[in-house]
Amino acid sequence: METNGLWDKISPQLRQAEKLAGSATYFGEMVYQFSRRKTAAAGLVAVIILVLISALGPVISDRQYDYQNLAHVNTPLMLDTVEIDGQYYYITSNMKVTQVSPEGELLNTLERVGDDSVQKRFSFEISGNVYYLNYKYNPPRLESGDGTVLSKSRLFFNKTYPLGSDSLGRDIFIRLIYGMRISLTVAFIATLVNLLIGVLYGCAAGYAGGGADMVMMRVVDMISSIPLTLYVILIMVLFNNGGFISIVLALGFVYWVDMARVVRGQILSLKQQDFILAAKTMGSGSGYILRRHLIANAVGPIIVTATMQIPAAIFTEAFMSFIGLGVTAPMASLGTMCSDALEGLRSAPYQLAIPAAAICVIMFAFNFVGDGLRDAFDPHMRK
């Protein structure tokens, strides 16, 4: 009797593949769906790298965010130097002549031996010879004793300040690390507030229903109707405590309302399902039903919402610091770094580009992770 191959034994490879396909756990399926999105995986890697850089910042360099050297004001990433007797010299924006090592490190700054205000030039002594820094030109130029202009000869990578220095001679790289620390701290606080307050409040409102739900959600509407900026200003006035603490308190007070709305909607939808009615019939208490059934089944939207709100919190902190309501000097923040760089935007655009790029990378990274989580928890993506 012919079977046309319908009853033939399957190969060991197919049997193993079916076994693996049928043994996938819910968490394993989430990881698989998340890893399929290259942008989500890249965002997660970027977040991990940013956390490591922020945590290991003091180990990388012994400088602090308030370290400054007025002799090294506005030094760029690349140093265009002049060679004199086999040595290299760089002219800073505040008209100082600094020696540069062959490795690109900024060494000692030369002392002026004369100031000719008529000719608009400073004189320096290098290897027993007198040289002039003529500042009637823009940019200033070095001249030998007979007036010969010394042309730029070699370009060095700034090893002393890998990302350059700002208008006060502070290391942008170190300040960027501390600025990312503040941004990631805000991200952690926003997530913690959403999970602790938003989830509990939304669960209570959705599960209670009726008049209690209406009153609780009207409170949410009143809180969310006032802009976050006004909360920060109010906290600064009431507690006489400005800066980062005011932003943290404001976030803790109002940032959970969107999460509460999302969780409430999920609970209202889930509590009408048959498995909730079965749990009530079996005598399960409200706390058990909330913990083991409702929140467990709403964990996907909760995680996605928390992740997607992180970039908004980071941008809020950067904006507050930019307009002067954030961290106070000399503490570094990405927003304050952007604000400080506006004055020298034409002469030193890198001072604005670097912190702005850091803000974009952080926000894009968390957005990509949020998109990946949203697709991973979407049942339609598993078909």
CA–CA gap between residue 337 and residue 373 (Å, rounded): 32
CATH level 2 (architecture), domain 172-382: Orthogonal Bundle (1.10)
124-153 residue pLDDT tens: 888 888 888 888 887 788 888 777 888 777
Name the amino acid, one letter, at 222: M
Whether 38 has a pLDDT exceeding 80, the answer reads yes
What does DSSP assign to residue 122?
E
CA 345 to chain centre: 22
Name the amino acid, one letter, at 30: M
What's the pLDDT score for residue 326? 75
**Range in 4-18, 164-178, 310-324 with the lowest mean pLDDT:** 4-18
Determine contact, residues 10/19, Cβ cutoff 8 Å.
no
The SS3 call for residue 206 is: helix
Q: Is 83 exposed, middle or buried (0-12, 13-18, 19+ CB in 10 A)?
A: middle
Helices (H), 23-168: 26-36, 38-55, 57-60
Name the amino acid, one letter, at 288: Y
60-99 residue pLDDT tens: 777 888 888 888 888 889 888 888 888 888 888 888 888 8
Whether 23 has a pLDDT exceeding 50, the answer reads no
What's the pLDDT score for residue 272? 82
- Written as one string, the DSSP assignment of 253-305 is HHTTHHHHHHHHHHHHHHTTSHHHHHHHHTT--HHHHIIIIIHHHTHHHHHHH
| Residue 263, token pair as written in the block | 């969780």
pTM for the model stands at 0.81
| Annotated domain spans of the chain | 75-157, 172-382
What's the pLDDT score for residue 318? 86
Length of the chain: 383
